[in-house]
Structure 1
């Protein structure tokens, strides 16, 4: 079945950015977990780190993407890498000292993105949330009770899990081929050669990795599940109130259907709150669509910042 879930994304950042990076991700609702010289941020109660920062770079850039699988999946991926004549690599020294117990491999895709695939149990499932009830014509699902307490009584928003990441690529079709042929992912949907969305077989969110077109590789955003659309709105607004921006949201995507609010990080990329994303249980019955460009971003909500799809890692 090849890769089964997204384990973490890692970014290289300048040493001077560590303080503002910690402030951003902790304000976003993640927990800081020190890993020697590394800065790791995780969802509360999660088994794995979600975002790992590697200080010491001249500028922020994608360091690597880590995926989880089982023994059979790793063996299958090794076979596919051999067929593609893609060599296995040594673990980066900065990472190796902190993950020595894992059965894992490292390699680069044809465009230069560094991947780690590790044999590890899936991330713990988030605790069930109260059902999100709405009243609509003919359906009174919430009776004799209000939807929300006063906003001053609403707790801080804490992401439940890392859902997906969007990576820039110089070839949408080439990256789709690599992720499907070598990592065993499946195409969920795409919009021409502008953007594509892929999921893991065996049941996963509509997208676990997404691809955006650019003239070079890079990191655009990491996306985190929260408990409800209200959490998306509250979390996004509180980050805006703390001075982070420009943001994009509150809105709802067309592809994947999720509610969203993107918050710009210190380097021009984003962290996203999301809720209510499509779930693909059977890859063989899901039919991928090629969406018109004009429908590819969102169904409703404000327009994104003008530079929303700019790859700042590529200049």
Structure 2
């Protein structure tokens, strides 16, 4: 069950002014956290995909900046330079598809606790690999894993941030003297997995499931312009680590006609790594989906790309981190509200295609989701505003 915490009216000067959102929660709105979650996950562990061509997948992965952790004829494991688990596990399959996310539990005991509560069975991660994993499904039918005690890699040498003459003081104290700035045109070395974004027509049920089951908490809500009373239609959700800061969002979800993957994001060192790495990807013939810019919710510097199979992945840097004391912000959904600066959002990023129309028609025929013709029109209008 979600907590009901009294909230002040949404007025100028309230708790969220000059913090991360102009508006906070109104009385009676979703609190953005659960009263008594089953467990509290610590982070994403890895994402699972299937791909028909692992050779092509590996080439793109290296160009994007991943390190290959292991490779067999039927499985490719990718990691970043930071210590931790693999970031992506790709298994050979008949088509390119996202299988599901795997979250990292605080302890192996949490894996068993979740298995008991959900009536499932925990099992070893894989033959010869440490750790236990339990697999459940969210209300949209997306497979969600929770792992404890999984194998973790040591740090690797990373990409150093460039020293900057920022001009912050009038005393003309320079960081870089008698030295030029020449960032290498090379892959932006991925440091770690940051977040995954999912779409679901069962937004309200899915939101509550991640809060009640995995103990996650909301950083920001978006709502349809003119229809805030309906409730949120997008949520940026972080892990609850108490007083320890966590990424603004480890998971983001939005209402839409399909169930599944939108994009995943991977941290790199800084803006120069994003830009020089982007030039490298362009020279290699890959397609940019949107960027470079800086988001509003989460504040990340971003750059979105399509892999050879059309799945969207993001380089990001300099994202917000919140501890558990920060309450959700509320803002109206719009395409112009996706970035503080950068090029206009692209149709490619928004996912406008004839296939989307077919998905919408199927969703509207179903009676177990949050989509109505009016809400679908409002979503389309918001994404063109």
- The CA RMSD over aligned residues, in Å, is 3.0
| Counterpart in the other structure of 2:42 | 4
> Which segments of 5 or more consecutive residues in structure 1 lack a partner in the other structure?
none
Distance 1:147 1:67, change over 3 A: farther
Question: What aligned pairs does 1:7-86 form with structure 2 within 5 A after superposition?
Answer: 7-13=45-51, 15=52, 17-32=53-68, 33-35=70-72, 37-44=74-81, 46-57=83-94, 59-69=95-105, 70-78=107-115, 82=117, 86=118
Question: What aligned pairs does 1:1-315 form with structure 2 within 5 A after superposition?
Answer: 2-13=40-51, 15=52, 17-32=53-68, 33-35=70-72, 37-44=74-81, 46-57=83-94, 59-69=95-105, 70-78=107-115, 82=117, 86-88=118-120, 97-98=126-127, 101-120=130-149, 130=161, 133=164, 135-136=166-167, 138=169, 142-145=174-177, 149-151=181-183, 153=184, 156-192=187-223, 193-202=232-241, 203-280=245-322, 282-283=323-324, 285-294=325-334, 296-310=337-351
TM-score (norm 2): 0.69
Give SS of 1:240's match: helix
Q: Structure 1 residue 3: deviation in Å?
A: 0.6
> Which segments of 5 or more consecutive residues in structure 2 lack a partner in the other structure?
1-38, 224-231, 360-385
Distance 1:217 1:183, change over 3 A: same
Distance 1:96 1:7, change over 3 A: closer
Stretch deviating more after TM superposition (111-120 or 239-248): 239-248
- Number of aligned residue pairs: give it: 301
> Which is higher, the Rg of structure 1 or of structure 2?
2
How far apart, CA to CA, are the structure 1 residues paired with 2:126 and 2:108?
Answer: 22
How far apart, CA to CA, are the structure 1 residues paired with 2:41 and 2:59?
Answer: 32
TM-score (norm 1): 0.83
Are 1:41 and 1:50, in contact at CA under 8 Å, matched by a contact in 2? Answer: yes
How far apart, CA to CA, are the structure 1 residues paired with 2:153 and 2:42?
Answer: 10
